[in-house]
Amino acid sequence: MANTLKYFNKVNQNIRLLSTTNVKSDAWLSKIFVRKIEPTKESHSRMLSDKEIIYSLQTHNYRPDSKIAYLNNVKNTVDFIKAQDSLSKDVELVGSWTVNVGDQDQALHLWKFTGGYEKIDHFNNVVGSSQDYHKLTEEQGRIVRSRHLQYLLAFSYWPQILLREPKNIYEIRSYALKPGTMIEWGNNWARAINYRQNNDEAFAGFFSQVGRLYNVHHIWCYNNLNGRKETRESAWRSPGWDECVAYTVPLIREMHCRIMVPTEFSPTQ
């Protein structure tokens, strides 16, 4: 009888161990597989963004020997756009940066169009009929190696974009997501952003509408590189942040980050 009881106790222990292992395994597996998204009749942009504001992100790769000439050209272009009365209320430069770490000899410019694509159409009509603007564009074409433009929408759950006082560095973390996963990304980051506001580091979050699709850009603002390190380490110490990361990593096809510094004419510093 004693031997029989020992046998059944051993079996029960093995069953409990197997059950516990399966639970842990299931929990781990649930984080590495993308969960199914239910079909919807609403567009992703309507579900994730609630503003009639379009942002354009210009990415320019300038010649290494032409940085000063390039920045002068961009400043003159910005001044030209500001001087157009019909554009002054609807078109606004938010930020202008050069890349310090990452893709060097690169600059990014973030513009805001209040009023949606109608205002972008109006902008294109105004500058398209200007000889002065064409001259600036031709001049720029001689000192850049390539240019890329995306139209973006801001995630509704991100804090409102606030211009910063000098002096800061910015990090743009760009993600190429798997097609069909934008809603799940938004659902997870709607929680995750709460872990990334302790030092007011969240500057802007966007997803692409025109250009490279299923792209996400998160822009963070820090005092310096050491401040970036401390802020990110603080997030990892917050219960729940690791879970948000675990759920979003499987959605990503490619990602990279760049450290940027504002130009002297950038509204946000």
- Provide the 8-state DSSP code for 159: P
CA atoms within 13 A on the CB side of 11: 6
Average pLDDT over residues 129-134: 96
Q: Contact 60/107 with Cβ under 8 angstroms?
A: yes
At residue 158, the 3 state secondary structure works out as coil
Non-local (6+) Cβ contacts of 226 within 8 A are none
125: Cα separation from own chain's centroid: 29
Report the amino acid identity of residue 208. Answer: S
Non-local (6+) Cβ contacts of 39 within 8 A are none
For 251, the enclosing helix (H) or strand (E) is none
Give the pLDDT band (50/70/90) at residue 89: confident
At residue 203, the 3 state secondary structure works out as strand
* More confident of the two residues 70 and 88: 70
Do the bridges between strand 202-210 and strand 144-154 make them parallel or antiparallel, or are there none, so unpaired? antiparallel
The packing angle between helices 225-236 and 241-248, to 10°, is 100
Give the pLDDT band (50/70/90) at residue 88: confident
Total H helices, total E strands in the chain? 8, 8
What the chain holds in terms of domains, given with CATH numbers, is: 50-262 (3.30.70.100)
Instruction: Report the share of the chain in percent with pLDDT over 70.
Output: 82
Q: What is the pLDDT of residues 157-215, one digit of tens each?
A: 999 999 999 999 999 999 999 999 999 999 999 999 999 888 899 999 999 999 999 99
Bridge partners (DSSP) of residue 62 are: 144
> Can you tell me the distance from the alpha carbon of 101 to that of 119, in angstroms, rounded to the nearest whole number?
34
> Can you tell me the distance from the alpha carbon of 107 to that of 146, in angstroms, rounded to the nearest whole number?
11
> Can you tell me the distance from the alpha carbon of 97 to that of 151, in angstroms, rounded to the nearest whole number?
18
Q: For the chain, what is the mean pLDDT?
A: 86
Q: What sign does the CA torsion over 139, 141, 145, 147 have?
A: positive
E strand segments, the chain: 53-62, 91-101, 106-114, 144-154, 169-177, 202-210, 215-222, 252-262
> Can you tell me the distance from the alpha carbon of 28 to that of 158, in angstroms, rounded to the nearest whole number?
28
Count of other CB atoms within 10 angstroms of residue 202:
19
> Can you tell me the distance from the alpha carbon of 145 to that of 160, in angstroms, rounded to the nearest whole number?
34
Q: Give CA angle at 29 (193, 208), nearest 5°.
A: 40
Give the pLDDT band (50/70/90) at residue 155: very high
pLDDT at 112: 97
Whether pTM > 0.75 for this model: the answer is yes
Q: What is the DSSP string of 32-60?
A: HSPPPPPP-SS-HHHHH---SEEEEEEEE
Write out the two tokens for 195. Answer: 């872990």
Average pLDDT over residues 107-112: 98
pLDDT at residue 39 greater than cutoff 90: no
